[in-house]
Structure 1
Amino acid sequence: MVESVIEVEVVYAAVDRQVLLSVAVPVGATVRDALLKSGVGVEFPELDLAACPVGIFGKVVAEPSTHAVQAGDRIEIYRPLLADPKEVRRLRAAKAAEAKARNQ
C-alpha cells in the first residue's frame, strides 16, 4: 500500500534573505516534522527549530510537535523583532512634538 503524502510550504525570512520551501510529508505529519524534513535548519543553522515560534498562515501554533499539518499549509518561522513597534512609534511622536515646539 502506498503511503499518502501532502504538500506544505515552509517559509522563513532572515534579515538578509528569505526562503520558501515546498515539502512533501505523510498525512498526519506535525508542524515540527515538516520543519525538520524541509531542511530549513541546514540552510539557517542559527535557527533553533525546537524552540522558535511558528505559525500557519499568520496564526501562531502553540504546540508544533502535536499540531498536524493539512495539505497546502504555509508554515511560517518567526524571528524576534529588531525593535518594538510601539517603542518606535513613541519615539517618532516625541521627536515630532519636539520639532513642532522648536518651530513655534
Structure 2
Amino acid sequence: MANTKIFQMAFSKIYSLYIQKIERKNQPKENLDRVIYWLTGYDENSLQEQISADVTMEEFFEQAPFLNENAHLVTGTICGVRVEDISDPLMQKIRYLDKLVDEVAKGKSMDKILRK
C-alpha cells in the first residue's frame, strides 16, 4: 500500500498539523485533545508522553489504551475514500482520527463528533 509512509511519520508532527488546522478554523485545542481521548483512550498525561516520545503513527495506535467501541460510527469520506471501506486496520484508525479532526475544524457539536 502506497500510503504506509504515514505509518512511520511522527505522531507529534501530525498532531501539530491537526492543531494548525483547527486553530485556522478558530476551534480550541481542547476539542482536538478530546476527540483523541475519545478515540484512543489516552488521557492528558499519556497523550503528552506520546508526543514527547516522538512515536510513529503506528506506535501511537499500537500503544493506545483502547479503540473506542463506537469508532465504527465514524463514517464518511476523507481524501476521497470512505472511512468505513478502508480494509487496513491501522489506516482505518488514522482516517477515523482525520475525520474527527475535520469535524472539529468544521465546528460540529462535540456530542455529534463523539457519536453520543
Same fold (TM over 0.5): no
Bigger relative contact order, structure 1 or 2 (CA pairs below 8 A, ≥6 apart):
2
Between structures 1 and 2, the one with greater helix share: 2
Between structures 1 and 2, the one with greater strand share: 1
Provide TM-score, normalisation by structure 2.
Answer: 0.29
